[in-house]
Chain A
Amino acid sequence: MAETFEHDVVVVGGGGAGLRAAIAVAERNPELSVALLSKVYPMRSHTVTAEGGAAGVIKSNDDLETHCYDTVSGADWLADQDAVEILVNDAPRQLIQLEHWGCPWSRERDGSVAVRSFGGMKNQRTWYAADKSGFHMLHTLFQTTLKYPTITRYDEHYAAKLLIEDGRCGGVAALDLRTGSMRAITANSVILATGGAGYVFAFTTNGAIKTGDGMALAYRAGVPLKDMEFVQYHPTGLPGTGILITEAARGEGGIMLNRHGRRYLQDYDLGQPLEVTDPRHPQNRMMELGPRDRLSQAFHYEREKGNTFKMEEFEDVDAVHLDIRHLGEKRIDERLPFVRELCRDYQGIDPVHEPIPVRPVVHYTMGGIDTDIDGRTALPGLYAAGECACVSVNGANRLGSNSLVEILVFGERAANTATEEAGELKRPNPDALRTQAKDEAKRIQQTLLNGANANGGVRPAHVRNKLRKVMEAGCGIFRDAGTIQTACDALAELSEQAARMTLDDHGGAYNTQLINALEITGMLEVASAMAHSAHARTESRGSHQRTDYPERDDAQFLKHTLAYRQEAAAPRIDWKDVTITRWPPGERTYGR
């Protein structure tokens, strides 16, 4: 049996993008009923961990043009410039709206919002709520959704499959975690806002829920995944846990030091350092405020030169120092209290008195579900927004603090499109959709819940751990044809193993092991799209650095990668032109 619930719009995902989308539908058309589905309670979504802030031009010394240029050049010209303009133009309104809904942005003394410096941004434009920006944004959005009676929440529901009939998406099949029963949640429009996929890598700031489910759902339904080879390494994660130390630490003036105490970024074409006592420090688009791809790459070279140090307590991993001591206790407690708390609790050091050991850590997926600037995917009735989508505004390298506005701008935008189009197409036959949900329940029962592989089966966690190591080894900060091919082969082998996954838990209620197993099958799809896209792009651009093709090649590759899933075969890779409006491809310079 699959119970059916009918709505007009289904939003899959209760993070920033999903909540913003749900509110937008409710605001725009109070006649429509919205289902808001999330595999965790909305306020547990990963947006909650975002620390540094959200970018939007608001001060008189800043302008939209510069924000656009920073984003386009930061993206190594792979972003679509029409999408970037939409992002930048709409960002201030979205952030003010969040403010009106209650977000406690940090303020200047006169009561206006305060902004801080961020990597790759020429001017100060990052709004922040101390260093818990995502937390406050997410709770503000969640609490605001409580105003709207037309939003029905399905908390702790796992979307397992898109329901597709007559060539259009008409809902999702979702497991109710509490009982394990499959439900058909139907609607005329489905918006995916399922977040990123950083958890397919072993060392990441992303928690275990960032498994790229929505990407896998769309991919399986024939929608291409775009630019999947572009995965962001953030330069400053805590070495043992991968917990993020926000870029805001450098925005406030923190400096990067190698084991000799040298501000090594000056050796990587990022400009010359100023003394930390110089009132002009930190300088935007220079040194510590360079873009993340370049800083993470610099770490790699430092390690090769022997300039990093080993951390015995964490299996001898290499690290450098992020030093914020000169900011002083007062400023640290005011601007970076969470950084201090995290360092004390998880690293056992106090950054007021000691430098913070850090290393690059997988942080963000620039790629995702291919959408147009209005959130449409190639499948009618299916829309996507947020980190799961690729519009694309992030291109080959996202700038810090652009993502928290992307989820607002494109969350609302996709919702507007979905709202308009919800009435246009004929609603798919509910019986057909229910049957599909029932079939999905049957499939799961037969493949994972019947204990068939009890002997000779594989523990899901083992497949997952192996997969995450394979990606780290094959598709890390630097890659080449050999490492990528090794990853592709290993992933194919792991997919065979995944077909033999054996569960200990065959029950219905809160079978979280089953959810993990379903996530793993999706992670394999997403990882495969990443590896094969990386293989096809024989150039270096932004976060995709091929040691065998070290140069950017605009003649061939000023194009988005599109990965199409194929049954029992490697994905088919296709290409799509980048939209260039006002900023022709140029040299990407920092520190000069």
Chain B
Amino acid sequence: MAGEKRITLEIFRYNPEDGGEPFFQSYEVEYLNHWVVLDAINWIKDEIDGTIAHRWTCRMGVCGSCGMMVNGEPKLSCHSLLRDYAPGPVRVEPLQHFPVEKDLMIDKSGFMERLAEVKPYIIRDDVNDTGNGEYLQTPAQIAAYHEHSMCINCMLCYAGCPVMSLEPAFLGPAALALGQRYNLDSRDKGQAERVDAMSGDEGLWGCTFVGECSVVCPKHVDPAGAIQKGKIAAAKQWYANFIKPKGAKK
């Protein structure tokens, strides 16, 4: 390999099938200036140790597969230049707050299963009626939800969120931001259907507003902001229900 610089990666290893304890394994890598952490892991897997398990698809920061703890911080490994970690070593671990499947692979199935709870799709009667053209939506109306629609489901915010470590039942920043993204979409009429899943202690009110999710988010989705907006809307709704007698709504 025509690299100029060397760095050591300490990779978290765990294999559920051999019954052993997790450990860190060190690999020395020669790297090129433009290499990211993911390139180094791929090179190790190709050339030295094919048993390493990790996920990746796009290598351009948009598929959301490659999240890992890099030197203790949740990062997209395809978006973390190795040279920024020189002279090393670089410690690479699976995202925290998730069960580990093998090596750098976490179990995301919980998130995938719970995503449906926030009903992340447009709810209204005529969604399949395309005959009258597009629903109009001005740039300003898009702006109301747009940043929250940029989530790549990379799970870094779950690794950053302190509530996730204490309260595994918490729906979590990405799922709540997504529910809120649809609530804020002018085309949607499904807010009422999302209320149950999104409010409550497992939902919006579980958030203690540390805001770390928005700090670690690589796509500026600002889940903390979405949750905050959700809380305000939910509180308003609560007062409205409280003041008006039941059934008088709308």
Contact = CB atoms under 8 A, between A and B. Distances in A.
Contact of B59 (A48, A178, A207): A207
Interface residues of A, number: 67
Given A107-B142, A345-B79, A507-B17, A96 B60 contact: no
Given A104-B146, A107-B139, A44 B15 contact: no
B63 A96 contact: no
B120 A143 contact: yes
B11 interface: no
Contact of A44 (B64, B129, B130, B137): B64
B33 interface: yes
B85 interface: no
B56 interface: yes
Given A49-B62, A102-B187, A146 B116 contact: yes
Nearest to A130: B146
Nearest to A97: B130
A43 B115 CA distance: 13
A207 B57 contact: yes
B121 A102 contact: yes
A100 interface: yes
B112 interface: yes
A93 B130 contact: yes
Given A100-B127, A111-B136, A155-B112, A510 B102 contact: yes
Interface of A: 27, 40-41, 43-46, 48-49, 93, 96-97, 99-102, 104-107, 109-113, 132, 135-136, 139-140, 143-144, 146-147, 155, 178, 207-209, 240-241, 243-244, 313-315, 338, 341-342, 345-346, 348, 459-462, 465, 503-505, 507-513
Contacts of A44: 55, 57-58, 63-65
Interface in B104-152: 105, 108-109, 112, 115-116, 119-122, 126-130, 133-139, 141-142, 145-146, 149-152
B121 A509 contact: no
Contact of B121 (A136, A143, A313, A462): A143
B interface: dominant SS: loop
B21 interface: no
Interface string B63-74: 111000000000
Contacts of B18: 507
B134 A505 contact: no
A513 B136 contact: no
B50 A505 contact: yes
B45 interface: yes
B55 A147 contact: no
Contacts of A460: 50
Given A100-B187, A102-B185, A459-B47, 15 more contacts: A40-B55, A41-B108, A44-B55, A48-B58, A99-B134, A100-B126, A102-B121, A146-B116, A207-B56, A313-B33, A342-B61, A346-B34, A460-B50, A461-B50, A510-B53
A209 B57 contact: yes
Contacts of A139: 149, 151
B122 A100 contact: yes
A157 to B, nearest CB: 13
A100 B135 contact: yes
Interface residues of B, number: 66
A325 to B, nearest CB: 22
Nearest to A240: B34
A75 B109 CA distance: 42
A504 B65 CA distance: 23
The 9 A-B pairs of least Cβ separation, nearest first, read: A111-B136, A461-B46, A504-B50, A513-B50, A143-B120, A510-B53, A505-B51, A146-B116, A510-B102
A40 B65 contact: yes
Interface in B2-45: 2, 15-18, 33-34, 45
Nearest to A39: B57
A512 B63 CA distance: 18
A111 B141 CA distance: 9
Given A43-B63, A102-B121, A110-B136, A207 B58 contact: yes
A41 B50 CA distance: 22
A49 B62 CA distance: 6
